[in-house]
Amino acid sequence: MGEKVPVRCPACRRAHAYAPPVYPCACGAPVAPPLLKGAHAEPITHRTWTDEWVTVRCTACGRQDQWPQPELGCPCGTVLRIPVRPVTSVPPQACRAAGSGAGPTASTTGVTTVPAQAPASSSSSAPASSAPSHIPLPRTAAVPRPSFRPVTIRTARDAVTAAARYLRWLGFREVVQPDEQPVPSSGIDLRGPGLVAQVDPTTRPVSLRAVECLWLNGLAAEAVSVFFSLAGYDEVARARADDLRLPLFVMDLTGTPQPVNSSADELLARGA
């Protein structure tokens, strides 16, 4: 995992300790986006798929690749964009060192060295919060689950795929995605035995109406309702979901859902 930096949500002033996700370079070395220390995180109010990627250089081989922009889902429902240090040009001697197998140092590339650690094992870790709005529950599933393997989100359909994989990881069986493009007008993007789930891949926070519609669909089907969002939830929707005990999750572009209310914590702890 990359080096943690302090992040404060400008909406609720809650402090977090954030570490960027780690990805495998083509050479096999772990790579994490170098965070820009001291820069303020900004709420995401508008998304464009082409602007949600950052250039990161591998410190082992010097290769540059596009990785998802680091994001943090605050328990208040705000999704924050974490600033990343821009990649600087590589001096010729650094290129020669990379070609000979010697990794460039932080002083020649401007990129912070990432500790050698397997990336997959950190995928299911939730962002640390020094003052959470709810107390996360210990995992009490009868059978320990393996580490969750996310799906990188580049399109709206990827978001639905990532949510489906997460629900199966929680223990829901026969989770089905709709074949229609776009998703059905009902807004129910995923179904399974005893399950209805909605995935909102838009750039707007989820509204009160969307939360209540999903809850009513679950009530009619006598099923568990689960909501996933890329842009978070507005304050009224979040409060209503708490009243209805409807689990809310936010997803970043790595495709890893994070619980944002107590009902989601409980679902994560006990599984399906």
What is the model's pLDDT at position 138? 46
- Return the minimum-mean-pLDDT range out of 74-83, 181-190, 201-210: 181-190
Q: Name the CA radius of gyration of the chain, rounded.
A: 19
**Section 93-110 average pLDDT:** 42
Domain ranges of the chain: 5-122, 156-270
- Please, what is the average pLDDT of the chain? 76
Max mean pLDDT among 42-51, 71-80, 177-186 falls in 71-80
User: Using 50, 70 and 90 to split pLDDT, how confident is the model at 257?
Assistant: very high
The predicted-structure confidence for 226-245, as pLDDT tens digits, reads as follows 999 998 999 999 999 999 99
Task: Indicate if the pLDDT at residue 102 is higher than 80.
Answer: no
166, 206, 219, 245 from 223: Cα distances, Å:
17, 21, 6, 13
Residues 6+ apart with CB under 8 A from 63: 25, 26, 27, 57
The class that CATH gives domain 156-270 is alpha beta
Q: How far apart are CA 123 and CA 30, in angstroms?
A: 13
The predicted-structure confidence for 137-172, as pLDDT tens digits, reads as follows 444 444 567 888 888 898 888 899 999 999 999 999
Amino acid residing at 268: L
What is the model's pLDDT at position 42? 85
Q: If we measure between CA atoms, which residue out of 182, 189, 248, 240 comes closest to residue 217? A: 189
